Structure 1
Amino acid sequence: MTLILYSHPLSSYCHKAKAACYEKGVAFEERILDGSEPAMGEWAALWPIGKFPIAVHDGRMVFEATGIIEYVEARFPDTPRLIPADPLVAAEVRMWDRFFDNYVATPQQRLVNIALGREHDDGGAPWRAALDTAYALLDDRMRGREWVAGDGFSMADCSAAPQLLYADWTHAIPQHLEALWAYRGRLLARPSYARALDEARPYRHMFPLGAPEGRD
């Protein structure tokens, strides 16, 4: 049975799950959550929490991008690994996966919420400061490294790619952070993520802050 992925075209978390499937060569049927039926009704019935992505495969419903990647890693063990077999390296990958979701995506989304008037926070200064801290930490981390954890492209990099894309769109990464910029460039050029990113281009007008030219 083909995996079904309920996915919003602009969601960084959906990009993360799609990039992982493309990296592993796992076929999936995407049901785009763009407000049209029947995908919206199916998704709401499966996951009343109302977050995306979710996946359905062999009678199982799997939620959250990290959960989906963990599932496809276990379900398709003969495909390229995104979570290393070495338990200590796997722990490092999982740790950095959470870094991007919690310390890059969260402040980025809070800034978008402020811009949309969904919350008020003195112009978002604390969240910009949080991103600046994360950027500086990542620049230091990536000096002399190709990927953020372990020796190869991993689940953590699947998370990093969309989170850094949208974070830079929202609060620009300083140009002097050369190691971070080089890492971002490798992520966007990775064929698995480039494919997910290209598929989202027709929906870019939906990004609340606008998609800057030449920053993708």
Structure 2
Amino acid sequence: MPLTLYFHPLSSYCHKVLIALYELDIEFEKRLINLGNEADHAELQALWPLCKFPVIRDHDQQRNVAESSVIIEYLDHRQAGYPRLITEDWKAALEVRLWDRFFDLHVQGPMQKIVGDRISAANGDLSRERAALTTAYGMLEQQLAADSWAAGTTFSMADCAAAPALFYASTLVPFADEHRHLSAYFERLIQRPSVKRVIEEAKPYFSMYPFVEAIASRFR
């Protein structure tokens, strides 16, 4: 197998890359990494010293590719003949990259701080993080008023980022009634075959998620 994905099936950033792999119909091998296992930790660290997943190993090119957005760009250029996840139109591509970063920084960022607080039992003041998610939802509500997908009329890297970010964030700060465009967008996302597949594969691991009780029953 020319590609190996080093990942964990509960990781939102790994979900983002898995969605892209399934969208592009790329064959790959999965290597599940348990960072609590010394051998697994060392294996991932040898590929990417920061020891964070996902990482893809391209065996043909003898190259390791890290960071979810960079991995998707790499896969997008590698797989000819499929609809691009990042358009070749420069202006439109800027929009894709903007909303990709938006989901990673302004949805996943606060979400991960809230989850991390629960894991560490720090019981910190997370009002700022919850307010940040509410602000992000409001911005997305405006962005999605005109288009079906996050960065326009076609599914893109931004939507690969959106699906796991919104899936987990909505367990912490549910969408409000006024977020009707965002809610409709989330429903489109979770009906996407690539996203449905990722959620299905994550199901056996949801019990490890600190807010598992907030995951909607239809996903468990």
| RMSD over aligned Cα atoms | 1.7
Give 1:128's match in structure 2, choosing from 127, 130, 135: 130
CA shift, 1:42, in A, is 2.0
Partner letter of residue 60 of structure 1? R
Residue in structure 1 matched with residue 79 of structure 2 by the alignment: 76
Q: Distance in 1 between matches of 2:211 and 2:119?
A: 9
Question: Does 2:42 align with 1:41?
Answer: yes
TM-score calculated relative to the size of structure 2: 0.92
- Secondary structure at 1:116 match in 2: helix
Residues 1:67 and 1:119: Cα distance change in structure 2 (over 3 Å): farther
Question: Does 2:217 align with 1:214?
Answer: yes
Residues 1:174 and 1:113: Cα distance change in structure 2 (over 3 Å): same
CA shift, 1:48, in A, is 1.8
- Secondary structure at 2:64 match in 1: strand
1:5–1:28 contact (8 Å) kept in structure 2 = yes
Residue in structure 2 matched with residue 3 of structure 1 by the alignment: 3
- Secondary structure at 2:212 match in 1: coil
CA shift, 1:121, in A, is 3.7
Residue in structure 1 matched with residue 56 of structure 2 by the alignment: 55
Question: Does 2:181 align with 1:179?
Answer: yes
Gaps of 5+ in 2: none
Partner letter of residue 202 of structure 1? P
Residue in structure 2 matched with residue 18 of structure 1 by the alignment: 18
Gaps of 5+ in 1: none
- Secondary structure at 1:61 match in 2: strand
Residues 1:144 and 1:197: Cα distance change in structure 2 (over 3 Å): same
Question: Does 2:90 align with 1:105?
Answer: no
Alignment: residue pair count:
215
CA shift, 1:46, in A, is 1.1
CA shift, 1:151, in A, is 2.0
2:44–2:52 contact (8 Å) kept in structure 1 = no
1:87-106 mapped onto 2 (5 Å cutoff) = 87-106=90-109
Paired-residue identity, %? 45
Residue in structure 2 matched with residue 31 of structure 1 by the alignment: 31
Cα deviation digits, residues 5-53 of structure 1 (max 9, x gap): 0011111100000000100111111101135586543212211201110
2:163–2:190 contact (8 Å) kept in structure 1 = yes
Residues 1:172 and 1:146: Cα distance change in structure 2 (over 3 Å): same
Q: Distance in 2 between matches of 1:104 and 1:215?
A: 22
1:9–1:33 contact (8 Å) kept in structure 2 = no
CA shift, 1:208, in A, is 1.1
Residues 1:91 and 1:215: Cα distance change in structure 2 (over 3 Å): farther
